[in-house]
């Protein structure tokens, strides 16, 4: 397929594809899906080999959020049955983080619900960051506390934070349909504040909220323009009690096409499969490792994820390896190596397999068409273990 050859060539040279090319990836058929995965997989392996970075979430403060984000189980007035608790103490957060690090995670993501942190909240999180860093050599810490005020990113950096996460979530054109209590521009401003403070910018999207292909392409191009180092790709978890509870728009194939498009637009950036991968990718999760080089281990903020042991088995069975603390995630040019705009370029593989000829003999009996599963509401499970509970975490 000429499109895929072009995109591989551009990805190996870190050249931005056109918007039409990105849209064409999302429009490919299920019959072409494995070709799409194989092509994007060449780009992923060129920049990241077969390494998979493991990240672990610690929900420092759950629920009680004054914002009205339609997708969120912690939103204002939501009746979702999630855990609700105020700030974990530094030693409690460090204990929670240790479970993920023992499972192989190299980055701990400290998340707190709310519009944004007060200065006192920044002090709390700074103490937590210092405790985790003191007790775990080589660990990366990413903070995710909402909208930042002037000077707060610098204080987090001074406390030892390596990164700051704040997702754009969807396109600027449709952002007002998702959230009313803050703006798309507010989110862009926070990502820029983190970048300016010397923090690695982590910003991603949520798919499955009823957006168009154009919306998906717009937000990924915006993330590329913001120069995020890592891009989490979330698949909507339609919690009962939220306005988007009935939005079941994703199939495993659709999820893979979205991840492939993100990889082509962000070839040398850490692409992370985030919330909802178990729910929507299901048995095709291993294929997604050929597109993304990063996942979350175990549970999410308010929902249960796949068992940490199953994550590790999936990575090994698919022929990948867990990235260690001694390995650096990003390619050298994204670490200030300054090797130019076509660093590491190489020609794409030329070999291609001929399609097999269809059988001419009719089948003895008509084939039974596999039933396409409907929404898997049974896979949405509220987290009842780990941080904020007395139950051991899933890591």
User: Does any domain span residue 13?
Assistant: yes
Flag whether 376 is in a domain: no
Q: Is residue 236 situated within a structural domain? A: yes
Q: How many domains does the chain have?
A: 1
Q: Phi, psi at residue 27, to the nearest 5°?
A: -95, 0
Residue 117: CATH number of its domain: 3.20.20.70
Question: In the prediction, which pLDDT does 373 show?
Answer: 64
Q: Catalytic site residue 109?
A: yes
Identify the active-site residue in 75, 144, 157, 202: 202
Residue 383 lies in a domain: no
- Of the listed 14, 44, 75, 272, which one is catalytic? 272
Structure tokens at 297: 């281990």
167 within a domain of the structure (yes/no): yes
Domain presence at residue 158: yes
Residue 373 lies in a domain: no
User: In the annotation, is 343 catalytic?
Assistant: no
Q: In three state form, how does the secondary structure of 17-64 look?
A: CCHHHHHHHHCCCHHHHHHHHHHHHHHHHHHHCCEEEEEEEEEEEECC
Which residue positions form the known binding site?
Answer: 65, 69, 72, 109, 142, 202, 272
Q: What is the pLDDT of residue 369?
A: 53
pLDDT along the chain (395 residues), means of 10: 96 98 98 98 98 97 93 89 93 95 97 96 98 94 98 98 98 96 98 98 98 98 97 96 94 98 98 96 98 96 93 98 96 64 34 34 49 75 89 87
Can you give the pLDDT at residue 371? 63
**pTM, full prediction:** 0.90
Q: Could you list the residues known to form a binding site for [2Fe-2S] cluster, using ranges.
A: 109, 142, 202, 272
pLDDT of amino acid 338 = 32
Domain with 71 in it: 2-326
Instruction: Tell me whether residue 308 is in a domain.
Output: yes
Rounded CA separation 114/129 (Å): 19
List 14, 44, 107, 109, catalytic entry:
109
Given the residues 14, 69, 124, 157, select the one marked as catalytic.
Answer: 69
Q: Check residue 173 and report its DSSP letter.
A: T
Please say if 69 is a catalytic residue. yes
Catalytic-residue membership of 266: no
Report CA 290 to chain centroid distance, whole Å. Answer: 14
Catalytic residue among 44, 107, 142, 263: 142
Binding residues for [4Fe-4S] cluster: 65, 69, 72
């Amino acid at each position: 397929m000429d499109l895929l050859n072009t995109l591989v060539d551009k990805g190996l040279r870190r050249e931005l594809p056109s918007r039409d090319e990105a849209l064409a990836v999302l429009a490919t058929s299920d019959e072409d899906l494995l070709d799409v995965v194989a092509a994007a997989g060449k780009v992923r392996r060129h920049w990241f080999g077969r390494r998979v970075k493991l990240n672990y979430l610690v929900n420092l403060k759950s629920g009680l959020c004054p914002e009205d984000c339609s997708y969120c189980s912690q939103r204002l007035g939501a009746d979702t049955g999630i855990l609700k608790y105020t700030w974990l103490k530094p030693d409690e957060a460090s204990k929670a983080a240790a479970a993920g690090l023992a499972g192989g995670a190299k980055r701990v993501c400290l998340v707190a619900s709310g519009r944004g942190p007060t200065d006192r909240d920044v002090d709390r999180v700074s103490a937590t960051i210092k405790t985790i860093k003191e007790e775990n050599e080589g660990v990366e810490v990413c903070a995710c506390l909402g909208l930042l005020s002037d000077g707060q990113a610098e204080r987090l950096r001074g406390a030892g934070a390596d990164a700051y996460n704040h997702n754009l979530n969807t396109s600027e054109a449709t952002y007002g349909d998702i959230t009313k209590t803050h703006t798309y521009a507010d989110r862009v401003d926070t990502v820029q504040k983190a970048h300016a403070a010397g923090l690695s910018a982590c910003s991603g999207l949520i798919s499955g909220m009823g957006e168009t292909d154009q919306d998906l392409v717009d937000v990924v191009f915006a993330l590329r323009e913001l120069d995020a180092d890592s891009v989490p790709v979330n698949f909507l978890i339609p919690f009962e009690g939220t306005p988007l509870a009935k939005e079941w728009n994703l199939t495993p194939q659709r999820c893979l096409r979205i991840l492939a498009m993100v990889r082509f637009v962000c070839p040398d950036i850490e692409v992370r499969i985030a919330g909802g991968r178990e729910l929507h990718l299901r048995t095709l999760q291993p294929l997604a490792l050929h597109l993304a080089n990063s996942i979350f281990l175990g549970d999410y903020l308010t929902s249960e994820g796949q068992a940490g042991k199953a994550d590790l088995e999936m990575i090994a069975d698919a022929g990948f390896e867990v990235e260690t603390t001694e390995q650096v995630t990003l390619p050298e040019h994204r670490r200030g190596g300054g090797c130019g705009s076509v660093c590491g370029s190489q020609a794409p593989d030329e070999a291609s397999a001929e399609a097999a000829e269809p059988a001419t003999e009719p089948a003895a009996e008509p084939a039974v068409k596999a039933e396409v599963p409907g929404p898997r509401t049974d896979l949405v499970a509220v987290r009842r273990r780990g941080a904020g509970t007395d139950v051991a975490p899933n890591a």
